[in-house]
Amino acid sequence: MTLEHFDEGRFPAALNMALDLLLLENYPRPEFIRLRHYAWLPDCFTFGYSQKEEWIRAQCPKGASLARRPTGGGLVDHRNDWTFAFVLPACHPMHHAPAIDVYRQVHQAIADSMCSLGRPACLQPVEEERPTLPGMPRRVRGLCFAGAEPCDVIDPQSRLKIAGAAMKRNRCGVLLQGSIDRLVAGELDWAAFKAFFVSGLQLRFAADSLEEPAPPVYTDGLAQETAAMMTNDAWLNRR
């Protein structure tokens, strides 16, 4: 199996969410594993599929670019993060694996990559309660980085959350949307990090690697059409 990966530029929140959804549902090479790394225009936030827009808007700065993700999870501030979308195709053996297993494999690849660059990182244990330590952010329900969930990437000393993700599974495959907090991660060579991350994903999902430009589906009208759908009230308030 092949892992195809590519980088893209900065986009508004709704367009990035549209591209991630198309990565899962309209990819021209559906048999490939896919990794998309991208950035954001200023002041972008995203929120989970099941969260209420009214509450979310009250948490964000006025004028923020806000979009609802196709995945679950909490509110994510993208003003200083390293963001990616990862897709396992329906033909992959782990398509039907428990969600926590996919989550663990991707996040272990992140933790291992950081350790390779001299930045200690580990996973939040499944069975462990999150401790309360001086300097830790107060856990606020609905805010993604306010606390670590099982198998999130954390700092082994402070226990602060470094990376988290949310998932969607359907007949096309599994989409995992991930965010790494650059402030907590600290100074890293992000190009080297990505190279280690890709190698880790290859190892954990038994794939070869292929770096390509973004496929044509991301440059035609479908992306803009999907982004427009993600800014209307029907999408923002669908339950």
Residue 103 confidence (pLDDT) above 50: yes
Per-residue pLDDT reduced to its tens digit, 137-162: 444 445 555 577 899 999 999 999 99
- The DSSP output letter for 146 is G
Count Cα atoms within 13 angstroms, Cβ side, for 74. 16
Which CATH number fits the domain that encloses residue 210?
3.30.930.10
Per-residue pLDDT reduced to its tens digit, 200-214: 999 999 999 888 887
Report residue 31 as tokens: 């048999």
What are residue 213's phi and psi, to 5 degrees? Answer: -65, 165
Q: Are 68 and 45 in contact (CB under 8 A)?
A: no
In total, how many domains does the chain have?
Answer: 1
Percent of the chain with pLDDT over 90: 60
In the block, tokens 């900065």 appear at 10
pLDDT of residue 126: 82
pLDDT of residue 217: 58
Q: Where in the sequence is the domain holding 40, given as residue range(s)?
A: 2-236
Residue 220 confidence (pLDDT) above 70: no
pLDDT of residue 233: 66
Range among 6-10, 62-66, 123-127, 196-200 rated most confident: 196-200
Q: Return d(Cα 125, Cα 122) in angstroms, integer.
A: 9
pLDDT of residue 50: 67
Q: Are 131 and 154 in contact (CB under 8 A)?
A: no
pLDDT of residue 136: 43
For 32-138, list the strands marked E by DSSP.
33-40, 44-47, 65-68, 76-77, 81-89, 122-123
**CA dist 237 to 29, 51, 55, 141, Å?**
32, 9, 12, 19
pLDDT of residue 210: 85
Amino acid sitting at position 108 = Q
Give the pTM. Answer: 0.86
Helix 221-229 and helix 13-25, axial crossing angle in degrees, nearest 10: 110
Amino acid sitting at position 146 = A
DSSP 3-state assignment of 41? coil
Q: Return d(Cα 10, Cα 12) in angstroms, integer.
A: 7
Q: Are 83 and 39 in contact (CB under 8 A)?
A: yes
Per-residue pLDDT reduced to its tens digit, 76-90: 999 999 999 999 999
What are residue 190's phi and psi, to 5 degrees? Answer: -70, -25
Residue 130 confidence (pLDDT) above 60: no
**CA dist 176 to 96, 119, 148, 234, Å?**
14, 23, 17, 23
Per-residue pLDDT reduced to its tens digit, 224-237: 788 777 777 666 66
